Amino acid sequence: MATLEELASLVKGKVVGDGKLELTGVSGLDTAQPGEISLIASAKALPAARESKASAFIFPSNLREFNFQGIEIDNPRMAFAQILWYFYPKKKYAEGIHPSAVIGEGFQHGPGCHIGPLVFIGDRVKLGKGVVIHPGVVIQDDVEIGDDSEIRPNVVLCHGTKIGNRVLIHPGAVIGGDGFGFEKTSDGRHLKVPQVGCVVIEDDVEIGSNVTIDRATTGQTLIGAGTKIDNLVQIGHNVKVGKDCIMVAMTGVAGSTKIGDRVTLAGQSGINGHITIGDDTVVFVRGMVISSLPPNSIVSGQPARPHGEDMRIQAAAGKLPELLKTIRQLEKRVAELEGKLN
């Protein structure tokens, strides 16, 4: 429980209404109950806010005239996230190793680590302080995991993977599986190319459920600090991803591509191999990038092209049935005129 005044102080917002109002939780507009605070992110949410049972709201300054009680702040979404963390703090795990865990030789770990049931840890694995390993995780030989990282159930970290500090990996991800490397032989078969590199995940990265990041053929596949990867993303061998990127669900990045800093790849984006994506580029949903892009590009379509150009093409494509009908009518008239001339 917290007062409205306490929550406003937490997020550095302005109290509107009774600062002593006691709040028991935070919820969405449609599910909030009396005593809870909710979010009005923009004017579009006003009808739902008027129907909401919430006792207080987090809202931007330009909605002040609607006389909501709550917290006025420039970035209401950020404040909402902070208040969620206040009411639902990160779970703390007791230090210790479950007796069902299988631990290899040369295992090292810092203080405060928690290793859950049925975990497998190979040889020469190193964990920093405060690392949490959930049930069913497989950690192969020579893996290193930095301080305060959390590996959730059924993740597989293949041999030699390097994980930084404060990394969160969601269930079912496979980090460091073999890259897809084959050479065609003279008799038409496919010879596997040994994948002897590794994967390096830098600090403050979050990796979603069932993500696969392939180890490099040689050298490293690299995910830069602060990057956030949604569920069901595939990253090929020897890819280099920069810092603070966003990669949304079902995106695929082919091998040896270099992605700059602060790049956004929207859902189901497809990125060709051996190309470079410049810093601060945005690829819209289902964009298919087949060649390198300079920094600050905003692209969409298949193949990806500047977003404005692609929108014009899409608009024109929507008129094709009408245009085809007009062409058929013109062909008919031309044929009639030719018949008269003949």
Longest dimension (CA), the chain: 97
Cis status, amide bond into 295, omega within 30 of 0: no
> Residues near 190 by Cβ (< 8 Å), separated by ≥ 6?
182, 183, 184
CA atoms of 51 and 57, how far apart (whole Å):
12
CA atoms of 210 and 204, how far apart (whole Å):
19
Residue 255 tokens read as: 């091998």
C-alpha atoms less than 13 angstroms from C-alpha of 129 in its C-beta half-sphere: 1
DSSP of 110-159: -TT-EE-TT-EE-TT-EE-TT-EE-TT-EE-TT-EE-TT-EE-TT-EE-T
> Residues near 206 by Cβ (< 8 Å), separated by ≥ 6?
167, 168, 169, 170, 227, 228, 229
Residue 279 tokens read as: 């810093």
The catalytic residue among 109, 114, 134, 237 is: 237
- Is 237 in the active site? yes
CA atoms of 149 and 206, how far apart (whole Å):
10
**Active-site residue list:** 237
